[in-house]
Amino acid sequence: MRCHRLDLNLLLVLDLLLKMRNVSRVAETLNLTQSTISSALARLRNHFDDDLLIQSGREMLTTPFAAQIAEPVDQFVARARTIALARTEFTPETAEHDFSVVALDYVAGLLLSNLIRRVAQVAPGISISQLPLPESRERASVAQFDVFIGSNVPFDTAVNTSMLWEERFVPVVWSGNTAASAAVSLNTIATFTHVSVALDERLNVRIVDQFFQSMGISRTKTIRLQSLLLVPEFIVGTPYMAILPLRLVLSRAQRLPLRILRTDFELPTITERLQWPVHLDKDPANMWLRDMIQASAAEVEARWSVSEPVGLPLS
């Protein structure tokens, strides 16, 4: 369909290009070839008589005109999605649908395996694709996912949210670490070498570092990993310590010799949330997925009890 000689389908491509600023990522998101997206960008440039996106080193920058039309294009696409979803029905038993779920690795390890088992039992035609956290350090694009599971990050447009569970952090060592006493103080924690994770600054797990900094404590971090799930593995057999979400420790302690230490102070807590774009709020498919995630989260809470960590040595 054309409007003033512009193919309106191109606006869907333009919306993603202005948000992702990466031809290959847009092609992957739309399940198209890079050449198709490059051709669409050329047609858009020709229509608007503007470069729209200019390559600068390894990134693409928007022109002033592209920045000017970015919000109207986003609003157009969001309204188009709302219209497309009107009066839709969703029958999970017969539906064929691919959901995109953005989740941090530790949350995915706790929740997604449970979710997939539930989905497999009732909706064999449903597939779930886990996506990594969007690369943008300013605003994550809601065009990339159906739901986001994890701590709060800034999004490029409005999202709705509900709480999954509250998580507290705990100090953890190898169970064979004889140097770690039953209880640790802030000053004692500073004497340990820590295994930590180099996560993006947008994530709430940084509240641990911020907490220690506010208390005047500087932690020595010899090992810095890219995955929270790997941290418990790197503690075993070492004198190192890690500050980790309790449910992660409880799940890994089933096969790893770990020990939680008591503290004479309160470590910060984190809220794991389920978030979704507002334009999908009343979408029957998205509503069904959110219900399944909430049910899985309830099971995670019941299984990994934070009050009685049975089977895990607790100093």
Say yes or no: 184 and 245 in one domain: yes
14 with 74, same domain? yes
Q: Which of 36, 54, 84 is the last residue of a domain?
A: 84
Beta bridge partners of 103: 149
Q: Are residues 54 and 199 in the same domain?
A: no
Categorize the per-residue pLDDT at 290 as very low, low, confident or very high, splitting at 50, 70 and 90. very high
Between the two ends of the chain, the Cα-to-Cα distance in Å is 67
Please name the residue that has the structure tokens 């605003």.
139
Per-residue confidence (pLDDT) for residue 85, from 0 to 100: 67
Which domain CATH number covers 34?
A: 1.10.10.10
Identify whether 315 is part of a domain. no
Is 92 part of a structural domain of the chain? no
Give 57-74 pLDDT, tens digit per residue. Answer: 778 888 999 899 888 888
State the pLDDT at residue 142: 66
Q: What is the pLDDT of residues 237-271, one digit of tens each?
A: 999 999 888 888 988 888 899 999 988 888 888 88
**Residue 212 belongs to what domain range?**
165-270
80 shares its domain with 13: yes
> Is there a single domain that holds both residue 280 and residue 156?
yes
Do 254 and 187 belong to one domain? Answer: yes
Average pLDDT over residues 203-217: 73
Q: Is residue 308 part of a domain?
A: no
User: 262 and 141 in one domain?
Assistant: no
Query: Which CATH number does the domain housing residue 233 bear?
Result: 3.40.190.290
- Could you tell me where the beta strands, DSSP code E, fall in the chain? 2-3, 6-7, 53-56, 59-62, 97-103, 126-131, 147-150, 159-174, 183-184, 193-197, 220-225, 241-245, 258-260, 262-263, 269-277
Q: For tokens 């064979």, what's the residue?
A: 176
Q: What is the pLDDT of residue 310?
A: 38
Q: Which pLDDT score, from 0 to 100, does residue 137 have?
A: 47
Residue 109 in any domain: the answer is yes
Question: Region 150-164: what's the mean pLDDT?
Answer: 76
Phi-psi category of 263—alpha, beta or left, where left has phi over 0 and alpha has psi -120 to 50? beta
Residues 211 and 242 in one domain: yes
Where is pLDDT greater, at 306 or 177? 177
Between 87 and 177, where is the model more confident? 177
Q: Is residue 314 part of a domain?
A: no
CA 140 to CA 86: how far, in whole Å?
A: 26
In a domain, 70, yes or no: yes
**Distance between CA atoms of residues 304 and 301, nearest Å:** 5
- If one counts every other C-beta atom within 10 angstroms of the C-beta of residue 87, the result is 5
Residue 7 pLDDT: 79
For residue 312, is it within any domain? no
Q: Are residues 14 and 67 in the same domain?
A: yes
Tell whether 203 and 241 lie within a shared domain: yes
pLDDT, tens digit, 9 for 90 and up, residues 99-150: 999 887 788 888 888 899 989 999 999 999 888 766 554 555 666 789 988 7
15 within domain boundaries: yes
pTM of the predicted model as reported, rounded to 2 decimal places: 0.65
Q: Do both 239 and 102 map to the same domain?
A: no
Average pLDDT over residues 168-178: 90
The total domain count for the chain is 3
Q: Are residues 80 and 214 in the same domain?
A: no
Write the CATH number for 157. Answer: 3.40.190.10
pLDDT of residue 204: 43
Counting residues of the chain whose pLDDT is more than 90, the rounded percentage is 18
